[in-house]
Structure 1
């Protein structure tokens, strides 16, 4: 997203920007960790919890915080954290070793509709946080791991959730016009952000008054194939071509698109001022 914005700023059109491979999975395979369990134990410690002792019947990706009676579930860097993961975490919270008051899921990669999944689940005893994507780079040696533990500099960031209003379609003979409008933006765990109390209070004020003001950049793929996102429209802060407000993105966009047979799948992606990316997908006839 950031690279795409820079290319747009430089009027580098047309351009092809490709992200190749699964970064976390590739980094894990290059790392000194022999198993996912070894990596999970390190992440649990960095989070501030304790891993369970290795024994039969105990998953090696689980940890706990005894003081708050919280279970910690670490997902694999080779998986997409989604509904099945969250359901499993809920089941473990309810039944593992007598049950827990809360479960925290730490994930690397997330399905596109993770925000909608969490909204449908409506579970205030389930928290989902993002493992820093460059963490494996910082864990190349035992010394670097011990330093991270001592300094406590690793922050597990909030998961974010973007919603759009119902897409409007104006039918034409050969093309259609679609109108996409941003609806809301939510940081699901704002307390996880590395901000002091004063700035947290300011953030809470913005989230209450105008949460879309947190959006730095957003783009639209009007013919999303479910795998590769191809941006056909974008807006970003300091872009005054769409309106005169350089401190906010516009909230509504109209695109002329080729007609399709059947349903059209539209994907909208956004990056906020903290650099977090979120996406949502909507089907229209």
Structure 2
């Protein structure tokens, strides 16, 4: 599938503009259109979450999962079953998910089905769809990545007034959503599947943190790469926690984290952290 450019479009400074909220079915259809797929007829697609797209003379079925669900192994089995359920001469099925079960990488590796492709929906796409009704403009700017980076926790504290802030960020999981797209021989693929199952964070070669992301330029002030952790007993891996001492900053921080894996693939995640003495943690 042709690579779309990484999303560098600035996120709106405020998400408080009151626009009509999208229902789940409307959102699913909008996601399909941004991805470039044509929704299937409503009589066979009552939830409006299935679409069709032709890429390189292949016909792909596209399933846009709900933001209220976690995409897991059952979702993948269901998607593959749809290839046989719906007529249309499908070559592949693409699953678009908002968030993923921690074991999704192992599930994808275990299936090892070339007909399956899994992509991550940008975390802010729902807001951007509401703000921008021009679907084609979004389609040109949005990237549905085949990598997914999950954070475990982000804490921001300040012990005394005017003192530096302490920002702590922990990595939780790194998932290759399309490992079958990486060209490997049989032995190395088996090794990759084992890593995806046991220690997926070891696939990260480098990761960095920008604690004051402006929406356009990524300016990291902290990074970790394989072999640079002198106090880490697993020096061949990156550190999984970043500790930053930062000048005081009024209001929330817009924090962006970028990771690059050993295959030179890139994943990013962004969160907004409220004033010091509060914490964000993945449920």
TM-score of the two chains, using structure 2 as the length reference: 0.50
Bigger CA radius of gyration: 1
Kept in 2: contact 1:236–1:248 (CA 8 A): no
Give the equivalent residue in structure 1 for 2:49.
61
Cα distance in 2 between the residues matched to 1:276 and 1:105: 19
Cα distance in 2 between the residues matched to 1:148 and 1:130: 16
| Equivalent of 1:153 in 141, 151, 159 | 141
Kept in 1: contact 2:104–2:175 (CA 8 A): no
The alpha-carbon deviation at position 189 of structure 1 amounts to 3.5
Cα distance in 2 between the residues matched to 1:244 and 1:87: 36
Q: Deviations over 1:264-285 (max 9, x none)?
A: xxxxxx97323458xxxxxxxx
Give the equivalent residue in structure 2 for 1:249.
238
Determine whether 1:70 maps to 2:60.
Answer: yes
Cα distance in 2 between the residues matched to 1:137 and 1:161: 20
| Equivalent of 1:124 in 114, 120, 144 | 114
Q: Deviations over 1:106-127 (max 9, x none)?
A: 0001111001111111211001
Q: Deviations over 1:225-244 (max 9, x none)?
A: xxxxxxxxxx9435433379
Kept in 2: contact 1:116–1:161 (CA 8 A): no
How do 1:31-70 and structure 2 match up within 5 A? 32-55=20-43, 58-66=46-54, 67-70=57-60
Q: Deviations over 1:134-164 (max 9, x none)?
A: 1122222344545213xx11000013599xx
Determine whether 1:272 maps to 2:262.
Answer: no
Cα distance in 1 between the residues matched to 2:104 and 2:33: 25
Kept in 1: contact 2:98–2:121 (CA 8 A): yes
Q: Secondary structure at the match of 1:109?
A: coil
Compare relative contact order (CA 8 Å, sep 6+) and give the higher one, 1 or 2.
2
Kept in 1: contact 2:33–2:135 (CA 8 A): no
Cα distance in 2 between the residues matched to 1:114 and 1:249: 22
The alpha-carbon deviation at position 105 of structure 1 amounts to 0.2
Q: Secondary structure at the match of 1:97?
A: coil
Kept in 1: contact 2:114–2:180 (CA 8 A): no
Kept in 2: contact 1:92–1:99 (CA 8 A): no
The 1:146/1:99 distance shift into structure 2, 3 A limit, reads closer
Cα distance in 1 between the residues matched to 2:233 and 2:59: 50
Gaps of 5+ in 2: 1-14, 151-173, 196-201, 208-222, 241-256, 261-265, 270-283
The 1:99/1:83 distance shift into structure 2, 3 A limit, reads farther
Give the equivalent residue in structure 2 for 1:13.
none
Gaps of 5+ in 1: 1-26, 163-184, 193-199, 202-206, 218-234, 252-269, 278-285
Give the equivalent residue in structure 2 for 1:240.
230
Kept in 1: contact 2:105–2:176 (CA 8 A): no
Q: Secondary structure at the match of 1:157?
A: coil
